[in-house]
Structure formats: structure tokens, C-alpha cells
Amino acid sequence: MGKVKSFTAKVAHDTSTEGKVICPVCNTEIKRIKAILNRRKGSAGWTPKYEFATICKCNEADFLAGKSL
């Protein structure tokens, strides 16, 4: 079981920039997420295709809409 953090500890962790990559355009943290795409495997079905993408507030809406996949 994990350690229970207080609200102030969570806020301090979120506002810390130590070890985070910051986008120079929108000044927010760049996050790396895994996208799972469908890959057709003949007529039998599909298999997942995993891709990692880096997103921030600049390209978040385009990525979630499927424009930049």
C-alpha cells in the first residue's frame, strides 16, 4: 500500500519543475503517453500497435482528436 500524501505535498510535487521537460511555447509540462492503435490482421481480427507520443497543451487537442496519429 502506498504512502498517503497530504494536499500540500501533492501541490508541491505538481509545482516542482525538477526533472520535468517544459514546452517553450505553452510553458507546460511535456508528457509522454502511449497510444494504442488498431492494426488489422487479415480478416481474422486485429492486433494492437503501441506508439509513444509526447504531448503538451499545444498539441493535446489534435492528438486526442486523432489528427496527429
Please state whether 54 falls in left (phi above 0), alpha (psi between -120 and 50) or beta. beta
- Do the domain assignments include residue 8? no
Indicate the pTM of the whole model: 0.57
Please tell me the predicted confidence (pLDDT) of residue 15.
Answer: 81
Q: Is the pLDDT of residue 69 over 80?
A: no
Percent of the chain with pLDDT over 90: 9
- Do the domain assignments include residue 20? no
Please state whether 19 falls in left (phi above 0), alpha (psi between -120 and 50) or beta. left
Distance of CA 2 to the CA centre of its chain: 23
- Do the domain assignments include residue 1? no
| Residues spanned by the domain of 45 | 25-69
35-66 pLDDT, tens digit each: 888 877 777 778 888 889 899 998 888 888 87
Q: Tell me the pLDDT of the chain averaged across its residues.
A: 83
- Do the domain assignments include residue 40? yes
- Do the domain assignments include residue 4? no
In the chain, the number of structural domains is 1
- Who has greater pLDDT, 3 or 11? 11
Task: Output the nine-digit C-alpha cell for 6.
Answer: 497530504
First vs last C-alpha separation in the chain: 37
